[in-house]
A = this chain, B = another copy of it.
Amino acid sequence: MSEKEFLYQTRLKIFREADKKEGKKVEKVFSYIECHRDEYIKLLKDFCNQPSVSAENIGMEEMAALVKKTLVSLGAETEQIETFGYPIIYGEINQGKERVLTFYNHYDVQPVDPLDQWKTDPFESTIIDGKFFARGCADNKGSMLSRICAVDAYQKVYGKLPLNIKFIIEGEEEVGSPHLKKFSEKYPKKLRTNGIIWEGGSKNINGSLQIGLGVKGLCYVELYARGANDDLHSSNAAIIENPAWRLIWALSTLKNEKDEILIDGFYDTIKQPTQEDMEYLENIIYEEEVMKKSMGIKSFINNLTSVELKKKLLYEPTCNICGINSGYIGKGEKTVLPSSAKAKIDFRLVYNQKPDDIFSLLRKHLDNHGFSDIEIVYISGVNPYLTDSNSLIAKIVIKNVERIYKMPPVIYRNIAATSPMSVLCESTNIPAVLYGVNNDESNIHAPNENIYVKDYLNGIKLTTTVFHEFAKYCNSTLSN
């Protein structure tokens, strides 16, 4: 028995005595977590060292197996639910309680490209000065494991959980969760819950934990322009249409330099922010000067600042070029007339825009502007979602943050990013709350993705507290 383990066992004995007098206390679990921190960090390393890039089909099978094995060892009844894409790992720890709390996470990660900008191997977890570097540690293996470890620690200390727990861990979040809807339709019982702790989240620049009560939707498309059968010598450019020019002209009609999206009807269905929504913005810190410096930019779009800046970030949709490519882009001079051109675009949508509608509007727009030759391929889409800000789970999370972090949380009525909340929650209006273990410079979707080890351990503690407290107050209204 290690010295730490000995200390823990000693403390546990004392706590057990106390239990008899004053009931179960979550602080005991905190002690267990501290004592077993190396084990939990090791687990995160194992998870991050296993590549799982859904967009490129790298390591997905191995990752799904690792998630499954981990839930099984937690004592969950675990199913690997096959889809037409990557499987969903579903786990349930049924303690015979009426109350249910669900954790939604994903085991896939973003591609590592551009690899040359990584300072460490993205699939070899490296801790430097208390910071844990690896692709996926922030988005969202760290948050996922913080929940698994919370359940583990609670069970190790108290044997039983105070409520039933469900895990829904999918493998396609980074490619738009194309099969989650099918899952939600096929297994409505598995969705039944009193609340969902959603995916992940981060601290702000001041170290306050951010809590999200809504997400943007997404419509992801590819645009193609096609010219001659083959690349041609560029002397032909005088008489043969260049698809790169076609694509550029088409794209330039979608948005103007004021960042106004010019697609007819694009903004029509949007529910404008309420007075209450606008009030949430006031507590949100966006350190403009620090952010500008850290990103190396001179100003924000349209020189926005303050509330207007936050409003645009959180409550407005986007039309963003994720990538564009045509012809020769290597070094030196190659005089070529390309045969095709391609762009990848994501629209972030706000309540109540629908990706299918946006796709139709885009098609109509291009046709109306003389670009019926531009092909659009629908890659993925998800509706935006707003949770009930007065739900119990939202209140419990908000209330308990200060206990762990010694600072109140900052509440985001809507976050700037997308998650398939609507897919699991929309049909029965389940309240979902988003928080996690990231910091304000976690570089998600980018090189040098990272989290602080300390945030990971606090994340475990917070989740422990959340289900401990939620179990106390929840009057379940779930039918079987």
Answer yes or no: A475 CB below 8 A from chain B CBs: no
- Given that A176-B333, A230-B446 are known contacts, is A237 also in contact with B320, CB under 8 Å in the complex? yes
What is the CB-to-nearest-CB distance from A116 to chain B, in angstroms, rounded to a whole number?
Answer: 12
Answer yes or no: A295 CB below 8 A from chain B CBs: yes
Chain B, Cβ-Cβ closest to A117: B230
For residue A211, which residues in chain B have a CB less than 8 angstroms away from its CB?
none
Q: Give how many copies assemble into the complex.
A: 2
A328 to B446, CA, bound (A): 11
A444 to B228, CA, bound (A): 15
Determine if B322 and A324 form an interchain contact, defined as CB atoms under 8 angstroms apart.
Answer: no
What is the CB-to-nearest-CB distance from A39 to chain B, in angstroms, rounded to a whole number?
Answer: 31
Chain B, Cβ-Cβ closest to A251: B248
Interface string of A358-400 (1 = CB under 8 A from B): 0000000000001000000001100000000000000000000
Determine if A321 and B295 form an interchain contact, defined as CB atoms under 8 angstroms apart.
Answer: no
Determine if A234 and B56 form an interchain contact, defined as CB atoms under 8 angstroms apart.
Answer: no
- Given that A235-B416, A238-B313, A346-B234 are known contacts, is A332 also in contact with B56, CB under 8 Å in the complex? yes
A244 to B229, CA, bound (A): 26
Answer yes or no: A461 CB below 8 A from chain B CBs: no
For residue A312, which residues in chain B have a CB less than 8 angstroms away from its CB?
238-239
Q: Which A166-195 residues sit within 8 Å CB-CB of chain B?
A: 174-176
Contact of A417 among B235, B255, B301 (CB under 8 A): B235
For residue A242, which residues in chain B have a CB less than 8 angstroms away from its CB?
320-321
- Given that A322-B328, A328-B322, A334-B55 are known contacts, is A230 also in contact with B344, CB under 8 Å in the complex? no
Determine if B446 and A233 form an interchain contact, defined as CB atoms under 8 angstroms apart.
Answer: yes
For residue A327, which residues in chain B have a CB less than 8 angstroms away from its CB?
321-324, 344
Determine if B252 and A324 form an interchain contact, defined as CB atoms under 8 angstroms apart.
Answer: no
- Given that A239-B313, A380-B333 are known contacts, is A447 also in contact with B231, CB under 8 Å in the complex? yes
Determine if B346 and A445 form an interchain contact, defined as CB atoms under 8 angstroms apart.
Answer: no
Determine if B324 and A228 form an interchain contact, defined as CB atoms under 8 angstroms apart.
Answer: no
Determine if B313 and A334 form an interchain contact, defined as CB atoms under 8 angstroms apart.
Answer: no
Answer yes or no: A227 CB below 8 A from chain B CBs: yes
Answer yes or no: A342 CB below 8 A from chain B CBs: yes
Answer yes or no: A469 CB below 8 A from chain B CBs: no
Determine if A236 and B325 form an interchain contact, defined as CB atoms under 8 angstroms apart.
Answer: no
Determine if A329 and B323 form an interchain contact, defined as CB atoms under 8 angstroms apart.
Answer: yes
Determine if B445 and A234 form an interchain contact, defined as CB atoms under 8 angstroms apart.
Answer: yes
Interface string of A302-324 (1 = CB under 8 A from B): 00100001001110111111111
Q: Which of A17-25, A41-49, A106-114 contacts B (4 or more CB under 8 A)?
A: A106-114
Range class of the A interface residue count: 35 or more
Answer yes or no: A280 CB below 8 A from chain B CBs: no
Chain B, Cβ-Cβ closest to A114: B231
Chain B, Cβ-Cβ closest to A252: B252
Determine if B174 and A321 form an interchain contact, defined as CB atoms under 8 angstroms apart.
Answer: no
Q: Which A269-315 residues sit within 8 Å CB-CB of chain B?
A: 294-297, 300-301, 304, 309, 312-314
For residue A72, which residues in chain B have a CB less than 8 angstroms away from its CB?
none
Chain B, Cβ-Cβ closest to A379: B333
Q: Name 11 extra pairs, CB < 8 A, besides A113-B330, A235-B417, A323-B338.
A: A111-B332, A117-B231, A230-B295, A234-B320, A244-B321, A321-B326, A322-B337, A323-B326, A323-B336, A324-B329, A325-B326
Interface residues, chain A, with chain B CB atoms under 8 Å away: 54-56, 110-111, 113-114, 117, 174-176, 216, 218, 220, 227-242, 244-245, 248-249, 251-252, 255-257, 294-297, 300-301, 304, 309, 312-314, 316-338, 341-342, 344, 346, 348, 370, 379-380, 415-418, 443-447
Closest CB pairs A-B (n = 6) = A55-B332, A323-B327, A237-B320, A252-B252, A229-B296, A235-B416
Question: Can you list 15 A-B pairs with a CB-CB distance of less than 8 A?
Answer: A117-B231, A176-B333, A234-B322, A235-B418, A237-B320, A240-B300, A241-B297, A244-B323, A248-B324, A322-B334, A322-B337, A327-B344, A328-B344, A336-B445, A336-B446
